Amino acid sequence: MRTFLILLTRELRSFFYSPVAYVVIALVMIINGFSFRAAVAILERGPQQGSLVSWTFHSQWFWLSYFFIFPLLTMRLFAEERKLGTFETLFTAPVRTWQVVWSKYLASVVLYCLIWVPSLANFFIFESMTAGATEIPHGSLYGIYLLIFVMGLFNLAAGCFASALTSNQIVAAVLSFTISLMHYLLGVFVLYLGRRIPEQFVELVHYIATVEHIRVFTYGLLDSRPIAYYLSLAFVFIIGTHQVLEFRRWRV
Amino acid sequence: MIDVQNLTKTYVGKTAVDGLSFKVEPGEVVGFLGPNGAGKSTTMRILTGFLSPTSGTARVNGFDVFHQSIDARRSLGYMPENAPLYMDMRVKEYLQFRGAIKGLSGSLLRKRVGEVMDACALTEVRRKIINNLSKGFRQRVALADALVGKPPLLILDEPTNGLDPNQIRHVRELLLAFKGRQTILLSTHILSQVEQTCDRVLLLHQGKLRADDTPQNLVRKLRAASDLHLEVSGGTGFEEHLAKVTGVRKITAEKQEGNWSHFTLRIEARTDIREAIFDLALKNRWQIRELRRELPTLEDVFVELTHV
């Protein structure tokens, strides 16, 4: 456990040694400002279905920030160690593979949480500025942030996996972006196909559709199925990462 | 300290290490020699638990490097080739991190980091970012990292690679200072260093052990012929006379300096014909100004045993 904490601290520090952490936090703050402003603009037009929360997370701005976070946070994790050769010093020290994998993954998760904190502040600042004149449904606000958290767990795990596969950070970023985007598009494509496909298939795709999850959670509903879905996917990718790193010690 | 039995490592379609067996006793300094691609680094990576062996076993400090990997790794300090380091950390911070994951903490950690920085002459750069250090300093940081856990065994993969002569000398002096107190397995291409620092040499070629002996014995047992330099004057037809001496394989006439003729005689291995030459000169009333035998070096052993 002590070794794990030491590794985790190093990983977290290493995010802040490079400009990556600051740039990502700043960019997401700006983009979230846009999506928040877009939601306010919609509400200004008159009574609408949906709340400030649901409009914020349905804007295109939100998706813009969503996709570039994961590659930026995870591409460095394993690829850089492979490139520098520090893999060898790391794994010849008395550390276990799971300690390395989880410390890197958790470091990216911590930073991911940090990134979303300023956007949460948007809502509270707005609430206090308008002296309660706007209604912000707190249930759906906490719901959506819970969903963003578990979606992050999955996408970051996929990013770790991509980073473990290669020594080139660009390749890792492209892979990670592709996994996140393909998963998203899988959920979107039924919207375009409409009802020309069997009902059961639509049901199945709704189960994995990120957009649908966001719709449900921004309406203040807590659905345990997406949470279980994202957590298990995250787990699968972390196991995959572990296996990729252990591969060199396989006896075939 | 190290006990390797029948170690084999096969990559797809290529055998890197082939049935290697050797032992290293506590306190020994052992040089690992061989051409590039002979399997030195692969063997070291297996010993440090970074790679798994395809077959065979290896023990470090009594721990199996595959099944008791963590315990084995605790007993050794490893410096990989080219000294990989985290470029964004500062020297002291890096050593503290490495010491901590090797199990040191608190005042002991601070003390050890101070000690290894002193030993490797890093104290003045302790606040510098590793990326801004020269190759020599980086190499020393990596060495300090290997030392920080006070392991009974050091495994160093080309610790002097890419250093200038002064830095090489510094590393050699460091290694000599550990001699007798620390078991060291080091690979290098600098053969003069091996002759000066190592108690024993393991020579690897194409994954197989070709020689396991002290540097002196290796040179002595060498089958290679040695050279004799001779400068004579006061006669003619030196070459015909010299050719008759038993043990001479080849005579090369070198430059002529006034009356003095300079020859290089290639003589059979393990023979000494210097007395015979002297007798010959005495008989023919030659004058000798130089009669010098050039002993084969470890370099000759290396070339002889690994020449394709």
* Model pLDDT for residues A176-191, shown as the tens digit of each residue: 999 999 988 887 877 6
pLDDT higher than threshold 80 for residue A151 = yes
Q: Which of B9, B84, B83, B76 is nearest to B42 (CA)?
A: B9
What is the predicted pLDDT for the residue at B246? 78
Interface test mutation site (partner B, options A5, A11, A90, A92, max chain B beta carbons within 10 A): A92
Amino acid (one-letter) located at B79: M
Tell me which chain A residues have a C-beta less than 8 angstroms from the C-beta of B84.
84-89
Confidence of residue A89 (pLDDT cuts 50, 70, 90): very high
B145 touches chain A (CB under 8 A): yes
Cα of A75 vs its chain's centroid, Å? 13
pLDDT tens digits along B162-204: 788 888 888 888 888 888 788 999 998 888 778 888 889 898 8
Q: Which residues of chain A neighbour B48 with C-beta distances below 8 Å?
A: 88, 92
Confidence of residue B113 (pLDDT cuts 50, 70, 90): very high
How confident is residue B222, by pLDDT bands cut at 50, 70 and 90? low
Report the residue of chain B nearest A82, measured CA to CA.
B84
pLDDT in the model for residue A123: 87
Bridge-based pairing of strands B200-205 and B63-64 is: unpaired
Is the pLDDT at B225 greater than 70? The verdict is no
Main-chain phi, psi angles of B84, to 5 degrees:
-70, 135
Q: What is the mean pLDDT of residues B26-45?
A: 88
The first and second tokens of residue A235, run together, are: 């787990």
For position B100, what pLDDT does the model report? 94
B70 vs chain A: nearest CA distance in angstroms?
5
Q: Which region among A134-148, A199-213, B107-121 has the lowest average model confidence (pLDDT)?
A: A199-213
- Ranges A197-201, B182-186, B227-231: which has the least confidence: A197-201
> Which has the closest alpha carbon to A57: A33, A31, A39, A30?
A39
CA distance to partner chain B, nearest, from residue A216 (Å): 43
Amino acid A174: pLDDT: 95
Nearest-CB residue to B50 (from A7, A10, A91):
A91
Planar angle of CA B109, B110, B116, nearest 5 degrees:
85
Mean pLDDT value of segment A62-84? 90
ipTM: 0.85
pLDDT digits (tens, 9 = 90+) for A41-66: 888 887 778 788 888 888 888 888 88
B10, B48, B50: best mutation site toward chain A, by most A Cβ within 10 Å?
B50
Contact B97 A91 (CB under 8 A): no
Percent of chain A at pLDDT exceeding 70: 98
- Domain map of chain A by residue range? 2-247
Chain A residues in contact with chain B using a Cβ-Cβ cutoff of 8 Å: 2-3, 6-7, 10, 14, 17-18, 84-89, 91-96, 248-252
Which single residue is written with the structure tokens 């936090």?
Answer: A25
- Strands, sheet with B183-187, edge to edge from the N-terminal-most edge strand: B76-79, B153-157, B183-187, B29-33, B200-205, B208-213
Interatomic CA distance for residues A244 and A175, integer angstroms: 15
Look-up: residue for tokens 């707190």?
Answer: A138
- The CA distance from A229 to A237, in Å, is 13
A194-203, A235-244, B283-292: lowest mean pLDDT where?
A194-203
> Which residue on chain A is closest to B69 by alpha carbon?
A94
Give contacts of B87 with chain A, Cβ < 8 Å.
Answer: 84
Element (H, E) at B258: none
- Give the minimum alpha-carbon distance from A191 to chain B in angstroms, rounded to a whole number: 47
Q: How confident is the model at residue A163 (pLDDT cuts 50, 70, 90)?
A: very high
**Looking at residue B223, what is its pLDDT?**
55
Cβ–Cβ contact B9 with A under 8 A: no
**Model confidence at A243: pLDDT above 90:** yes
For testing contact with chain A, the best of B67, B68, B101 (most A CBs within 10 A): B101
Number of A–B residue contacts, CB under 8 Å:
73
CB B231 within 8 A of CB B60: no
Average pLDDT, chain B: 86
Of the two residues A196 and B1, the one the predictor is more confident about is B1
Residue B151 has pLDDT above 60, yes or no: yes
Looking at residue A252, what is its pLDDT? 60
Minimal Cα–Cα distance from A237 to chain B, Å? 23
Beta pairing, strands B2-11 & B200-205? unpaired
pLDDT at B308: 60
More confident residue, B233 or B96: B96
pLDDT in tens, B234-277: 877 787 888 777 778 788 888 787 888 888 888 777 677 888 88
**3-state SS, residue B228:** strand
pTM of the shown model: 0.85
What's the pLDDT band for B154 if we cut at 50, 70, 90?
very high
**Number of other residues whose CB lies within 10 A of the CB of residue B192:** 13
List of domains in chain B: 2-220 (3.40.50.300), 226-306 (3.30.70.3100)
Rounded Cα–Cα distance for residues B178 and B216 (Å): 21
B52 shares contact with chain A (CB less than 8 Å): yes
